[in-house]
Amino acid sequence: MSGQGGCEFPETSKKRPVVATIAVLLKDGKVLLVRRSNPPDAGRWGFPGGKIERGETIEEAALRELYEETSVTANVHRVFNAVDVLDFDKSGELEYHFVLVAVLCVWVSGEPFAGDDALDACFFEIDDVNQKSLAISLDVEKVARQAMVIYENELV
């Protein structure tokens, strides 16, 4: 899965993992994705998100990043997963390690509009989210399907 959000890489991020959040937003059976403009995974589709700021909760960071990247507002349902993103340089050396905490969000208002570090933002049918038909980041389809199951079992 893509590392999310505008990432400035402090020197310490090369030594230890950076914690970030991703907002997995569902609406009418669709999932909201953004096409990233910055590395890692520039040009690929993934969830809106980014680094958690000092003093900010995981949930607050997810909602902030969601709004900054898409102009969409949502409510948090719950944290439901965490995934590792390992970013290697051209020689195969580990450059950065991100831990992305997935937050299931439920749409409140707004239509997706690409902002912050997103090139594009739009809703996709869950069956259209796979690595064969879209340039998506690793694990996006798996996390989106997991979110859909939680949504259907806990919110519908």
Top-confidence residue, 87 or 131: 87
64-74 pLDDT, tens digit each? 999 999 999 99
Name which of 124, 117, 130 is nearest 41 in CA terms. 117
Considering only 36-45, 78-87, 111-120, which range has the smallest mean pLDDT?
36-45
Pairing of strands 49-51, 118-125: unpaired
Q: Specify the 3-state DSSP secondary structure of 24.
A: strand
Distance from C-alpha of 113 to C-alpha of 119, rounded to nearest angstrom: 9
Distance from C-alpha of 107 to C-alpha of 124, rounded to nearest angstrom: 14
37-72 pLDDT, tens digit each? 877 678 899 999 999 999 999 999 999 999 999 999
pLDDT band at 12 (very low <50, low <70, confident <90, very high): low
Q: Which domains does the chain have, with CATH numbers?
A: 11-154 (3.90.79.10)
Distance from C-alpha of 135 to C-alpha of 93, rounded to nearest angstrom: 23
State yes or no: pLDDT of 116 exceeds 90: no
Query: For position 8, what pLDDT does the model report?
Result: 54
Contact 58, 23 (CB under 8 A): no
Query: For position 132, what pLDDT does the model report?
Result: 67
Query: For position 129, what pLDDT does the model report?
Result: 85
pTM for the whole structure: 0.86
Contact 103, 83 (CB under 8 A): no
Q: How many CA atoms lie within 13 A of 15 on its CB side?
A: 3
